């Protein structure tokens, strides 16, 4: 019995599974794009709407003439958070998010004074910040990731 075709498929699959960086990079691109696409709708990965900005926050932004006031949640004067989402991929994993110093507070929220006080006694942060999850895997993301992996695996075994 000639098993050379089967052995070739196993060899191709073994080689592909040794370094999954290409598919991890594809998954990272997918998740980065999906995360950025949620900002205009103000929607968490689970489909819930983000908490609106408080009137106090809107007033503070508006107090500085240099600031443009955007009432959408997670859109500050710089607009950076919605744009600075990146991913890193390796042979075995992918991660994505933002390295902005305030991104974790936006994701998880923070209580007034959670980070202490300023020299003038003002709380850091100056008010309660509700969690507005922007990083995560939605049901659509999961389906797209599955399709990406299935395509990649099909291609991996067709190479020989």
Q: How confident is the model at residue 65 (pLDDT cuts 50, 70, 90)?
A: low
| Host domain of residue 148 | 9-100+134-158
- pLDDT at position 37 is 95
User: Is 77 among the domain residues?
Assistant: yes
Of 24, 147, 1, 17, residue with least CA distance to 93: 24
Mean residue pLDDT of the chain comes to 88
Task: For residues 4 and 15, give the distance between their C-alpha atoms in angstroms, rounded to a whole number.
Answer: 16
> Is 93 domain-assigned?
yes
pLDDT digits (tens, 9 = 90+) for 10-43: 777 777 777 889 999 999 999 999 999 999 999 9
Residue 146 falls inside a structural domain:
yes
Q: How many domains does the chain have?
A: 1
- Closest to 79 measured CA to CA, from 97, 67, 93: 67
Query: Does residue 47 lie in a domain region?
Result: yes
DSSP code per residue over 64-95:
STTSPP--STT--SS--TTT--EEEE-SS-EE
In a domain, 107, yes or no: no
pTM: 0.81
Residues with Cβ within 8 Å of 106's Cβ and at least 6 positions away in sequence, in order, are 74, 81, 129, 132, 134
pLDDT at 158: 67
Cα 149 from Cα 135, distance rounded (Å): 21
Residue 108 is assigned to a structural domain of this protein: no
For residue 122, tell me if it sits in a domain.
no
């Amino acid at each position: 019995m000639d098993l050379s075709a089967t052995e070739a498929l196993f060899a191709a699959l073994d080689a592909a599974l040794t370094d999954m960086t290409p598919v991890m990079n594809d998954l990272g691109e997918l998740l980065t794009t999906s995360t950025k696409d949620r900002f205009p709708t103000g929607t968490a990965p689970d489909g819930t709407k983000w908490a609106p900005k408080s009137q106090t926050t809107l007033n503070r932004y508006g107090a500085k003439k240099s600031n443009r006031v955007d009432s959408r949640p997670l859109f500050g004067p710089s607009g950076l958070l919605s744009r600075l989402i990146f991913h890193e991929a390796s042979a075995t994993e992918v991660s994505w998010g933002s390295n902005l110093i305030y991104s974790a507070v936006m994701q998880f929220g923070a209580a007034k004074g959670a980070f202490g006080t300023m020299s003038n006694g003002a709380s850091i942060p100056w008010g309660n910040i509700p969690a507005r999850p922007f990083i995560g895997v939605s049901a659509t993301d999961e389906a797209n990731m599955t399709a990406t992996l299935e395509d990649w695996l099909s291609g991996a075994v067709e190479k020989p």
